[in-house]
């Protein structure tokens, strides 16, 4: 390995949400909540960023741009940016798109907020699959659009789409947009071509736009490959693709993402309304990620494979009643712990205060997540081990107490 994913890096006092902002985000209104651990002794497995250093190739590119010393108004003018991104999508997913379809955004979340507004009329509805990343709901809600949920089905730890339910909901003429997570957060499903085709056919024949949020598409178990939704429907201009270097290369704070809008009218509306200036350091960093990040990315996937294997073995041994299948995608473990703990209102508070672990529970996702916790495994193995040990000790004693009482 050229890169060291075992390194433990101090993130405290860097204005990081993960270390410095968790109280406000997770325990709003209860910021004085006290835990038996000091803040920097908590094991943090919640927000979806990584505890690994951003690749040195990216940091060097930022340094090079810093050396130019002037940071005036900037946009992406250099054609090498598109070349870098489309080479990446070609190599990774055997797919590209015309240059003019590409716009950029400070993030996928702000893009979702904008796209909901541009695509939907005020009385229309947005369709999502649940459990869902909560910001899909927020993007609809912010635009006063009603949310319609189709629950994923689960069988033997494997999530599938309920096509009949999806079709019934897509048929509502007021449903005009589906925000689809490809691959899926939090379940980690890497959708097969056949599944994407079925969803696409349902949406398109019912005149429902699709935003395919593909932010997790580079975080797959080694050997697997991602299918961009739009690749399967080249004749349609109603599929918007969102991709970003933020999750893949751990640079969410640089606020730069790609939005591919094939529909000319929608793109023109975006270009008229969207605030178009960009952070020049982020442009340099993103281009470098796509140009020089491949080896780091391959090693990252290997390390994550190891973390998933470690977690699956640990759970089998120490929490045998937990239901967990290694996901095909994301660095997130979605674990059913309902045999150990159920009916608790504040599961994340319980884990923080009793186990000293910050994690997200099913209630932090939209619908259909009861009984689950989500662990972020993108951390050095030693931290992962400590986190899992604390979780097991807490759940086993909680369970023993329940049975005893």
Least gap, CB of 24 to ligand LCS (angstroms)? 14
- Closest C-alpha to 72, from 279, 288, 283: 279
Number of Cβ atoms within 10 Å of the Cβ of 82: 18
Given the rule CB under 6 A, which of 104-112, 162-170, 300-308, 337-345 is the region that contacts ligand LCS? 104-112
Q: Which of 42, 48, 92, 202 binds ligand LCS (CB under 6 A)?
A: 48
123-162 footprint of ligand LCS as x/- string (CB under 6 A): ----------x-----------------------------
Residue (133 or 314) nearer to ligand LCS, CB: 133
Least gap, CB of 110 to ligand LCS (angstroms)? 6
Residue (48 or 377) nearer to ligand LCS, CB: 48
CA-CA-CA-CA torsion sign (210, 293, 103, 276): positive
Q: Can you tell me the distance from the alpha carbon of 247 to that of 250, in angstroms, rounded to the nearest whole number?
A: 5
Burial 99-120 (b: 16+ CB within 10 A, else e): eebbbbbbbbbbbbbbbbbbbb
Least gap, CB of 321 to ligand LCS (angstroms)? 25
Number of residues that bind ligand LCS (CB under 6 A): 14
Question: What are the distances in angstroms from CA 375 to CA 84, 91, 159, 329, 372?
Answer: 32, 30, 18, 13, 10
Q: Which of 139, 219, 240, 252 binds ligand LCS (CB under 6 A)?
A: 252
Burial 15-31 (b: 16+ CB within 10 A, else e): eeebbeebbeebbeeee
Query: Structure tokens of 4?
Result: 């060291």
**108 near ligand LCS, judged by CB under 6 A:** yes
Given the rule CB under 6 A, which of 101-109, 161-169, 221-229, 336-344 is the region that contacts ligand LCS? 101-109
Q: What is the dihedral of CA 364, 367, 373, 378, to 10 degrees?
A: -70
Phi/psi of residue 267, nearest 5 degrees: -65, -40
Do 315 and 335 touch, CB atoms closer than 8 A? yes
**215 near ligand LCS, judged by CB under 6 A:** yes
Do 140 and 147 touch, CB atoms closer than 8 A? yes
**Do strands 209-213 and 239-243 pair parallel, antiparallel, or not at all (unpaired)?**
parallel
Q: Which helix (H) or strand (E) holds 178?
A: strand 175-181
State the residue number with the nearest CB to ligand LCS: 107
Residue (47 or 154) nearer to ligand LCS, CB: 47
Least gap, CB of 87 to ligand LCS (angstroms)? 21
Number of Cβ atoms within 10 Å of the Cβ of 170: 23
Least gap, CB of 36 to ligand LCS (angstroms)? 25
Given the rule CB under 6 A, which of 5-13, 105-113, 163-171, 280-288 is the region that contacts ligand LCS? 105-113
Least gap, CB of 22 to ligand LCS (angstroms)? 11
Q: Which of 181, 217, 284, 378 binds ligand LCS (CB under 6 A)?
A: 181
**286 near ligand LCS, judged by CB under 6 A:** no
Q: Which of 42, 85, 103, 109 binds ligand LCS (CB under 6 A)?
A: 109
**213 near ligand LCS, judged by CB under 6 A:** yes
Chain-centroid distance, C-alpha 51: 15
Least gap, CB of 47 to ligand LCS (angstroms)? 4
183: cis peptide before it, omega within 30°?
yes
Least gap, CB of 354 to ligand LCS (angstroms)? 22
Least gap, CB of 329 to ligand LCS (angstroms)? 11
**366 near ligand LCS, judged by CB under 6 A:** no
Footprint on this chain of ligand LCS (rule: CB under 6 A): 47-48, 107-109, 133, 181, 185, 213, 215, 244, 246, 252, 257
């Amino acid at each position: 390995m050229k890169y060291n994913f075992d390194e433990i890096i101090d993130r405290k006092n860097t204005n990081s949400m993960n270390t410095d902002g968790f109280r406000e985000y997770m325990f709003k209104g209860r910021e004085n909540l006290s835990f038996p651990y000091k803040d920097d002794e908590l094991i943090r497995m919640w927000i979806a960023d990584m505890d690994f250093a951003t690749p040195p190739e990216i940091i060097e590119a930022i340094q090079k741009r810093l050396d130019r010393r002037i940071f005036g108004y900037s946009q992406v003018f250099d054609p090498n940016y598109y070349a870098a991104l489309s080479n990446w999508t070609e190599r990774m997913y055997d797919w590209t798109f015309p240059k003019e379809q590409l716009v950029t955004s400070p993030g996928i979340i702000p893009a979702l907020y904008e796209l909901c507004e541009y695509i939907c009329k005020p009385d229309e509805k947005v369709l999502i699959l649940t459990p869902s990343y909560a910001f899909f709901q927020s993007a609809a809600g912010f635009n006063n659009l009603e949310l319609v949920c189709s629950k994923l089905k689960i069988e033997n730890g494997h999530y599938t789409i309920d096509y009949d339910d999806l079709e019934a909901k897509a048929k509502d003429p007021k449903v005009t947009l589906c925000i689809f997570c490809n691959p899926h957060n939090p379940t980690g499903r890497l959708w097969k071509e056949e599944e994407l085709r079925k969803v696409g056919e349902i949406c398109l024949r019912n005149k429902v736009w699709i935003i395919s949020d593909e932010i997790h598409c580079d975080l797959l178990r080694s050997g697997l490959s991602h299918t961009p939704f739009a690749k399967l429907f080249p004749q349609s201009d109603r599929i918007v693709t969102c991709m970003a270097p933020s999750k893949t290369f751990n640079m969410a704070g640089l606020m730069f993402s790609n939005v591919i809008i094939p529909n000319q009218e929608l793109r023109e509306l975006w270009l008229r309304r969207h605030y178009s200036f960009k952070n020049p350091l982020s442009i340099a960093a993103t281009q470098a990620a796509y140009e020089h990040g491949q080896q780091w990315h391959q090693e990252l996937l290997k390390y994550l494979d190891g973390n998933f294997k470690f977690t699956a073995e640990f759970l089998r041994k120490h929490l045998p009643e937990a239901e967990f299948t290694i996901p095909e995608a994301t660095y997130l473990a979605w674990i059913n712990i309902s045999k150990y703990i159920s009916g608790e209102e504040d599961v994340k508070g319980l884990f923080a205060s009793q186990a000293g672990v910050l994690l997200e529970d099913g209630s932090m996702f939209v619908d259909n997540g009861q009984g689950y916790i989500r662990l972020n495994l993108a951390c050095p193995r030693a931290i992962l081990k400590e986190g899992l040990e604390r979780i097991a000790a807490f759940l086993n004693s909680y369970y023993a107490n329940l049975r005893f009482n």
